[in-house]
Every structure is written in structure tokens, then in C-alpha cells.
Amino acid sequence: MTDILYSPWRLQYILAKKGKECILCLTHDSSADDQHLILYRGTESYVIMNTFPYNNGHIMAVPYRHVGRLNDLAGNEFVDLFNTVCLCEKILEKVYHPDGINIGMNLGRSAGAGIDQHLHVHIIPRWQGDVNFMTTVAGTRIIPEAFERTYKLLKEQFDNEKAEK
């Protein structure tokens, strides 16, 4: 039997008109980090909140350089990206104490990438029973924490982590 995963709350993103510019490349101006929901900037990658999250704390680690595949990354970019992913795991553990964390990438449109030309890694905290009847029956996803609060909690922890280095 095949399992089917439904995520109807993402339809808004899928149907929305997309601009020609890569939204993950439009984040180079660090003075607008709070507007772009950027939580952390490393040397070769950064962390941004997902605006169509699967759960509270759904964040993405993104290389600055516009590449679509892991093999396109230079060695230092690869290392920085996955050091950033490790940092994300650490931060999410401290802030949310999840039961588990999904870490994954969708390489290419057919693999499910909404933004297929700019590599990004999803880091999603998970809790036992976090998909409930609302998602299954009503096609509605309940994210119980406001974006502003999520941003504030995570940004504070990323800033603390950076200050400790």
C-alpha cells in the first residue's frame, strides 16, 4: 500500500504568482534581515524562516550562491552549509525541544522543490502527534505560534550562539 502525504496549506504558495527573480537571492541586503525573516548569516550560507511552514520553527539553510545542486557547491560552501544545518539542529533543540527533526532537500521541481534553481535545506522540528485531524480532515494546518514570536525566539538564540564563538 502506498502512503499519501497531503499538504493542502501549501496550495497558496504553489498557486501564487512567482516573480522572475530568485527570492533566495534577494536577501543579500542584511539591513532588511528582519523583513526577509533571516535568522543567521554565515560566511557562505544563511538561515531563513520558511514562510509556508510545515511546523513551528521550520527554517531553511541556504547558500548565498545561486546553485541548484549539491555538486555545484565549492568545498567551502558545502562545509559552511552543513555546519549551518548542524547549528540549526542545535538551535531548534534548545528553543523548541522537539521529539525529532526532519532535515531534507528537494533537488529539482519533480522532487518537490518549490524553488528548484537555488539549493536550500529544510530543517523542521517535529513532535509526536503534530499532524492532527485538522490537517487530515479539513485540509488546514494549525501553526500555533505567530511568525513574529518564532522569529524573535530563534533570532535571539542564533545571536547568542554567534556571540559565544
User: Which position among 36, 58, 120, 122 bears the catalytic label?
Assistant: 120
Mapping DSSP to helix (H, G, I), strand (E, B) and coil, where does residue 160 land? Answer: helix
Q: Is the dihedral of CA 111, 113, 119, 121 positive or negative?
A: negative
Residue 68 CB partners (closer than 8 Å, separation 6+) = 107, 108, 116, 117, 118, 119
Distance between CA atoms of 39 and 47, rounded to whole angstroms? 5
Q: Is 120 an active-site residue? A: yes
Q: What positions carry a catalytic annotation?
A: 120
